[in-house]
């Protein structure tokens, strides 16, 4: 993978890069020592030389292999002229090692080296990324693979699949554009032509009333993603679709695909046509195996999927952006000469009034938000499929219909299906219940919790050892991946003591999701929506876990 | 006379204060995360040419704000220049403090200085935002130094023919509460403009367009109506 990354280096940086590289490939003991050097690079990913912020000169950052129980020492050197940081996403550790500037530490100043030290208390698939400004958007992310203490391996071979979104424009410029015109990147809006097509399909009054309903709310059913394929190129392991990252497997090998969604803003619908995927872990934690044809990845989630490809075949790993404005792809093949079929992008879906938390009976309660929906119904069930597909050949259309049938046969992973493989605590009465409304103003492009932005908010304070029940009530029309640092969120999906613990919980538009949290790690923790521009505009809180008496 | 002289001095001072605040905000870089960060938005909504027989009119409608989500300083200028005669028919500049008061609405207060056809100075109170059904609204009340009241309402709507070909109907209404002799303004509807612009967004920020307006004007001297065809461009950054 290293050789295929186009990296431009100055001589000085090159020396650092080589040094960093050897630290990484050096044999790792149970007390591992790692050195990462963060620097600015010019890379050419999509036909233009662009600025990137990389660890050890590679995109994605090097995969770090740890062992459960290992005492890791991570030296992180900042060779840029502005501050940086690295956050170990989903990792339980002392809060001073969590890597969030302004909360866990003061950041890594230019020229300085910060040493992270902690013992690894878990196993599975996680990741790490910059937590300073928009640096993670510019390439500062990589995989963490932690082997369990019992050395149990579910597969013959591990493959890390890092999904990400690479922007054409500078991230600060992207945010400025969204502030000035929040639908700047949406080129899939409904047009006058769609209006007439819908009249033919639904009749005049129904079409008109649909347009009026959305107009009354000043919202747009095509507003699935704030930043889209209009500026993003979607990557797998740092490769855009035309570079087609490829892994060659040996016949009969069972593969464990460790999917990590390291995007700044993009949800992906992932599938491998022709291959059943057995989901065995979510957010690093083993779950009871579920066979699926497709799963949706919220930003910052990880999923482990077991696949058993057949001999003499090539498969496409196909990850469509949720709004269908583009895709990432890679190839699994038994023979590098074999080519896999590249699926066509399916048509985009529309948000519905149900997504807005509004009952389908429009005359009933127009503005009254109905928040008592289940945690996470099958994503595709509640969306109307828009039938104005891009132009396809007849064959493709048939193919597509076939695929849509697959989706309708509950082949898509839903949150209800996630059951922790080993039982956890059975939560009963919480010591404290906190309802957080997920709020935003699409017109001004600002995001918040309870209508209060981070800069105006007091920290949330809880006591060490308390059991807290968080209710997330999404009052917006966007999905929000809610990430809590340092503490697990047990998703209440009706599986009792087998409710899965996660570091990121997706909360769909207009829905309500509850999670249980044991405040078992003292300190100050970041708590935020993991969509980069939502976090940056204020959808963020500090959670302080106080020791008794402090 | 004396009181109006004093008032003028006051207005000049307030204009200076506003201008310097705007300059300071403009050079000060963004300094913090979320709500504190400053953005600057220049938008030439209409830069257009109207050829009508011998008449060659260049018209502009430009806005520029600097600020954060809640507080903004907002400049607006509108006017026209007759290229064949080399004179400005109309030219004014508004300097406003704009405050977000609801999700979709800003309240605005400030001053308007007109340079042509008369040099006048008015206080401005207005509101700007997005009404239900996606109507963009810009409404203002102008209070002259003699206490006369004028009003202006701008409505715009966007119809997407394709993702980049956009038809924008617009309506502008200027009203006066009473006759203003020194400005030739007759009470009632002074000006009624309705038209449309068809633009093509080569980029979001740059879109040339074709358009027309039906205009009805009424002053103390005359009443006239006309249809005007324009070609222009919409530019923002």
pLDDT digits (tens, 9 = 90+) for A162-199: 999 999 999 999 999 999 999 999 999 999 999 999 99
How far B131 CA sits from the closest chain A CA (Å)?
8
How far is the C-alpha of A400 from the C-alpha of A406, rounded, in Å? 10
How far is the C-alpha of B100 from the C-alpha of A428, rounded, in Å? 43
How far B211 CA sits from the closest chain A CA (Å)?
19
A192-202 helix and A204-217 helix, angle to the nearest 10 degrees: 130
Residue B42 tokens, joined:
């220049």
Positive or negative, the CA dihedral B3, B6, B10, B15 is positive
Cα–Cα distances in angstroms (integers) from residue A464 to residues A432, A487, A524, A548, B132, in the given order: 12, 11, 11, 7, 47
User: For residues B23 and A480, which has the higher predicted lDDT (pLDDT)?
Assistant: A480
Most A CBs within 10 Å: which of B29, B35, B158, as the mutation test of the A interface? B35
How far A468 CA sits from the closest chain B CA (Å)?
27
Q: Is residue A394 less than 8 Å (CB to CB) from chain B? A: no
Residue A5 has pLDDT above 80, yes or no: no
pLDDT at position A383: 39
Per CB-CB distance under 8 Å, the chain A contacts of B102 are none
Residue A348 has pLDDT above 80, yes or no: yes
Residue B65 tokens, joined:
């704000």
Most A CBs within 10 Å: which of B31, B34, B205, B236, as the mutation test of the A interface? B34
- Tell me A411's DSSP state: I
Could you give the percent of chain A with pLDDT greater than 70? 84
Q: Greatest CA span in chain A, whole angstroms?
A: 71
Q: 3-class SS at B115? A: strand
Mean pLDDT of A133-147: 96
How far is the C-alpha of A380 from the C-alpha of A365, rounded, in Å? 24
Residue B44 tokens, joined:
């030439």
Residue range A435-445, pLDDT digits in tens: 999 999 999 99
Please name the residue of chain A whose CA is at the shortest distance from the CA of residue B203. Answer: A184
pLDDT band at A246 (very low <50, low <70, confident <90, very high): very high
Q: Tell me which residues of chain B have a C-beta less than 8 Å from any C-beta of chain A.
A: 32-36, 39, 41, 43, 69, 100, 103-104, 130, 132-134, 159-164, 167, 204, 236
Q: Is residue A402 less than 8 Å (CB to CB) from chain B? A: no
Cβ–Cβ gap A441/B35 under 8 Å: no
pLDDT band at B13 (very low <50, low <70, confident <90, very high): low
CB A231 within 8 A of CB A169: yes
How far is the C-alpha of B101 from the C-alpha of B94, rounded, in Å? 20
Residue B42 has pLDDT above 80, yes or no: yes
Residue A157 has pLDDT above 90, yes or no: yes
pLDDT at position A262: 98
Per CB-CB distance under 8 Å, the chain A contacts of B134 are 215, 218
How far is the C-alpha of B191 from the C-alpha of A255, rounded, in Å? 73
Cβ–Cβ gap B160/A192 under 8 Å: yes
Asked whether this complex has an ipTM greater than 0.95, the answer is no
User: For residues A4 and A305, which has the higher predicted lDDT (pLDDT)?
Assistant: A305
Mean pLDDT of B75-87: 92
pLDDT at position A357: 62
Cβ–Cβ gap A212/B133 under 8 Å: yes
Which long-range contacts does B209-212 make (Cβ < 8 Å, 24+ apart)? Answer: B209/B48, B209/B168, B209/B233, B209/B234, B211/B48
pLDDT at position B54: 79
Residue range B154-188, pLDDT digits in tens: 999 999 999 999 999 999 999 999 888 877 888 88
Please name the residue of chain B whose CA is at the shortest distance from the CA of residue A176. Answer: B39
Within 10 angstroms of residue A325's Cβ, the number of other Cβ atoms is: 23
Most B CBs within 10 Å: which of A196, A230, A444, as the mutation test of the B interface? A444
**Chain position carrying tokens 């309660």:** A365
Within 10 angstroms of residue A257's Cβ, the number of other Cβ atoms is: 24
Cβ–Cβ gap B34/A454 under 8 Å: yes
pLDDT at position A63: 97
Q: 3-class SS at A177? A: helix
Within 10 angstroms of residue A5's Cβ, the number of other Cβ atoms is: 20
Could you give the percent of chain B with pLDDT greater than 90? 67
Q: Is residue A540 less than 8 Å (CB to CB) from chain B? A: yes
Residue A151 has pLDDT above 80, yes or no: no
pLDDT at position A375: 37
Q: In terms of Cα–Cα distance, which of B73, B75, B72, B79 is closest to B46? A: B79
Q: What kind and span of H or E run contains A188? A: none
How far is the C-alpha of A230 from the C-alpha of A226, rounded, in Å? 10
Please name the residue of chain A whose CA is at the shortest distance from the CA of residue B30. Answer: A172
Per CB-CB distance under 8 Å, the chain B contacts of A101 are none
Residue B27 has pLDDT above 60, yes or no: no
Most B CBs within 10 Å: which of A133, A191, A540, A542, as the mutation test of the B interface? A191
Contacting residues for A65 by C-beta, under 8 A, at least 6 apart: A28, A145, A146, A147
pLDDT at position A403: 42
pLDDT band at B35 (very low <50, low <70, confident <90, very high): low
Q: In terms of Cα–Cα distance, which of A174, A378, A161 is closest to A264? A: A174
How far is the C-alpha of B36 from the C-alpha of B41, rounded, in Å? 16
Residue B72 tokens, joined:
């903004």
The partner residue sitting opposite B39, judged by closest CB among A179, A191, A455, is A179
Q: In terms of Cα–Cα distance, which of A52, A234, A238, A70 is closest to A142? A: A238
N- to C-terminal Cα separation, chain B: 44
CB A515 within 8 A of CB A427: no
pLDDT band at A118 (very low <50, low <70, confident <90, very high): very high
Mean pLDDT of A46-62: 95
Q: In terms of Cα–Cα distance, which of A430, A499, A504 is closest to A470? A: A430
| Helices and strands (H and E) in chain B: how many | 1, 13
Contacting residues for A208 by C-beta, under 8 A, at least 6 apart: none
Q: What kind and span of H or E run contains A382? A: none
Cα atoms in the 13 Å half-sphere on the side-chain side of A372: 1
CB A304 within 8 A of CB A280: yes
**Chain position carrying tokens 């600020």:** B67
Most B CBs within 10 Å: which of A180, A195, A231, as the mutation test of the B interface? A180
pLDDT at position B8: 55
Return the C-alpha torsion angle B218, B219, B222, B228, nearest 10. -50
Bridge partners, B140 (sequence order): B126, B152
Cβ–Cβ gap A441/B103 under 8 Å: yes
N residues, chain A: 550
pLDDT at position A367: 35
How far is the C-alpha of A303 from the C-alpha of A284, rounded, in Å? 7
- Tell me A182's DSSP state: T
User: For residues B18 and A102, which has the higher predicted lDDT (pLDDT)?
Assistant: A102
Q: Name the average pLDDT for chain A.
A: 87
pLDDT at position B18: 55
Residue A516 tokens, joined:
């249980």
Mean pLDDT of B189-203: 96
CB A348 within 8 A of CB A387: no
pLDDT at position A92: 98
Mean pLDDT of A234-252: 95
Cβ–Cβ gap B41/A441 under 8 Å: no
Q: Is residue A218 less than 8 Å (CB to CB) from chain B? A: yes
Contacting residues for B131 by C-beta, under 8 A, at least 6 apart: B104, B137
Cβ–Cβ gap B39/A181 under 8 Å: no
Cα angle A83, A85, A86; round to 5: 160
Mean pLDDT of A218-237: 95
How far is the C-alpha of A108 from the C-alpha of A82, rounded, in Å? 9
Residue range A381-427, pLDDT digits in tens: 333 333 333 333 343 433 444 444 444 444 899 999 999 999 999 88
Residue B102, Cβ density class (10 Å: 0-12 exposed, 13-18 middle, ≥19 buried): exposed
Q: 3-class SS at A100? A: coil
- Tell me A105's DSSP state: B
Per CB-CB distance under 8 Å, the chain A contacts of B236 are 180
pLDDT at position A358: 55
How far is the C-alpha of A161 from the C-alpha of A72, rounded, in Å? 23
Cα atoms in the 13 Å half-sphere on the side-chain side of A503: 29
Residue range A78-114, pLDDT digits in tens: 999 999 999 999 999 999 999 999 999 999 999 999 9
Please name the residue of chain B whose CA is at the shortest distance from the CA of residue A440. Answer: B103
- How many A/B residue pairs have CB atoms within 8 Å? 66
How far is the C-alpha of A171 from the C-alpha of A533, rounded, in Å? 9
**Chain position carrying tokens 């029309």:** A477
User: For residues A51 and A151, which has the higher predicted lDDT (pLDDT)?
Assistant: A51
């Amino acid at each position: 993978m290293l050789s295929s990354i186009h990296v431009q280096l100055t001589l000085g940086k090159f020396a650092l890069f080589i040094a960093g590289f050897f630290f990484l490939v050096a044999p790792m003991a149970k007390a591992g020592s790692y050195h990462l050097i963060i620097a600015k690079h010019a890379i050419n990913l999509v036909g233009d030389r662009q600025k990137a912020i990389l660890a050890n000169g590679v995109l994605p950052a090097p995969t770090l292999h740890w062992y459960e129980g290992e005492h890791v020492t991570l030296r992180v050197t900042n060779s840029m002229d502005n501050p940086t940081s690295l956050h170990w996403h989903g990792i339980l550790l002392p809060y001073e090692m969590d890597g969030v500037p302004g909360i866990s530490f003061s950041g890594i100043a230019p020229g300085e080296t910060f040493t992270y030290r902690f013992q690894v208390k878990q196993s599975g698939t996680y990741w790490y990324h910059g937590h300073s400004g928009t640096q993670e958007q510019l390439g500062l992310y990589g995989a963490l693979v932690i082997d369990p203490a019992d050395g149990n391996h579910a597969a013959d071979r591990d493959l890390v699949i890092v999904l990400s979104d690479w922007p054409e424009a500078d991230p600060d410029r992207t945010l400025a554009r969204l502030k000035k015109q929040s639908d700047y990147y949406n080129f899939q809006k409904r047009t006058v032509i769609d209006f007439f097509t819908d009249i033919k399909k639904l009749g005049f009054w129904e079409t008109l009333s649909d347009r009026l309903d959305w107009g009354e709310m000043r919202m747009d059913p095509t507003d699935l993603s704030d930043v889209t394929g209009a500026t993003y190129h979607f990557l797998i392991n740092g490769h855009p679709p035309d570079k087609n990252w490829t892994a060659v497997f040996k016949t009969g090998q069972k593969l464990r695909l460790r999917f990590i969604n390291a995007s700044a803003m993009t949800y992906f619908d992932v599938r491998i046509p022709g291959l059943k995927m057995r989901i065995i872990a979510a957010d690093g934690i083993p779950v009871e195996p579920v066979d699926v044809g497709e799963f949706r990845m919220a930003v910052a989630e990880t999923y482990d999927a077991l696949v058993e490809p057949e001999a003499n075949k090539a498969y496409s790993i196909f990850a469509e952006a949720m709004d269908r404005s583009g895709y990432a792809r890679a190839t699994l093949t038994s023979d590098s000469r074999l080519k896999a079929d590249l699926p066509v992008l399916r048509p985009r879906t529309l948000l519905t009034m149900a997504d807005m938390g509004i009952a389908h009976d429009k005359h009933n309660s127009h503005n009254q938000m109905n928040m008592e929906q289940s945690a996470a119904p099958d994503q595709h069930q509640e969306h109307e499929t828009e039938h104005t597909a891009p132009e396809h050949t007849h064959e493709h259309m048939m193919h597509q219909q076939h695929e849509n049938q697959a989706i309708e046969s509950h082949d898509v992973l839903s949150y209800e299906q996630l059951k922790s493989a080993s039982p956890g605590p059975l939560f009963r009465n919480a010591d404290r219940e906190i309802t957080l409304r997920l709020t935003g103003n699409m017109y001004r492009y600002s995001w918040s919790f309870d209508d209060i932005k981070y800069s105006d908010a007091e920290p949330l304070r809880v006591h060490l050892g308390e059991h807290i029940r968080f209710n997330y009530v999404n009052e917006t029309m966007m999905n929000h991946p809610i990430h809590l640092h340092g503490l697990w969120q047990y998703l209440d999906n009706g599986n009792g003591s087998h409710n899965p613990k996660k570091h990121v919980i997706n909360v769909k538009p207009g829905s309500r999701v509850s999670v249980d949290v044991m405040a078992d790690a003292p300190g100050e923790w970041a708590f935020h929506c993991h969509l980069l521009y939502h976090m940056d505009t204020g959808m963020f809180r500090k959670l302080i876990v106080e020791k008794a008496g402090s | 006379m004396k009181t109006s002289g004093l008032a003028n001095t006051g207005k000049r001072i307030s204009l200076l204060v506003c201008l310097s605040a705007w300059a300071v905000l403009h050079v000060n870089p963004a300094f913090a995360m979320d709500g504190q960060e400053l953005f600057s938005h220049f938008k030439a909504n209409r830069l257009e040419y109207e050829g009508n027989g011998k008449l060659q009119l260049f018209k502009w409608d430009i806005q520029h704000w600097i600020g954060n989500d809640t507080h903004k300083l907002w400049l607006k200028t509108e006017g026209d220049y007759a290229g064949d005669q080399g004179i400005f028919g109309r030219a004014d500049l508004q300097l406003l403090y704009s405050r977000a008061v609801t999700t979709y609405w800003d309240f605005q207060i400030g001053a308007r200085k007109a340079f042509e056809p008369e040099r006048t100075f008015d206080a401005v109170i207005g509101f700007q935002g997005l009404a239900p059904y996606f109507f963009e609204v810009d409404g203002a009340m102008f209070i002259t130094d003699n206490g006369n009241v004028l009003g202006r309402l701008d409505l715009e709507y966007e119809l997407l023919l394709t993702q980049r070909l956009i038809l924008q109907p617009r309506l502008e209404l200027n009203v006066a509460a009473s006759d203003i002799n020194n400005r030739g303004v007759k009470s009632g509807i002074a000006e009624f403009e309705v038209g449309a612009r068809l633009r093509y967004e080569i980029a979001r920020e740059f879109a040339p367009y074709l358009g027309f307006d039906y205009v009805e004007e009424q002053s103390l001297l005359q009443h006239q109506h006309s249809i005007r065809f324009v070609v222009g461009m919409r530019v923002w950054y």
